[in-house]
Amino acid sequence: MLAAGINIVYIRDFLGHEDISTTMIYSRADNRLKNEAINTLAPKIAGDIELSDWREDKDLLSFLNSFG
């Protein structure tokens, strides 16, 4: 139901749960829903800023490679 876009409150009522936290135990957002949420929020958070390509940051790459 969640993957079909049905609000969690309606799912709670359908399942007969008194508290939404009980319903949340059984619900897991699939990757498609997570991706849609990120794509919806990203422009609102980042705005029109230009981000540099992290793969060209030698200091960052060196730092990350130090874990390897």
Span 15-34, pLDDT tens digits: 999 999 999 888 877 788 88
Tokens for 24, please give them: 């949340």
For 38-67, the pLDDT digits (tens) are 888 887 776 777 778 988 999 999 999 999
Higher pLDDT, 50 or 1: 1
d(CA 67, CA 44): 33
Q: Give the model's pLDDT for residue 9.
A: 95
Q: What is the DSSP letter of 39?
A: H
Domain ranges of the chain: 8-65
- Distances in Å between the Cα of 67 and the Cα atoms of 12, 57, 58 are 44, 16, 15
d(CA 2, CA 10): 10
Q: Give the model's pLDDT for residue 57.
A: 92
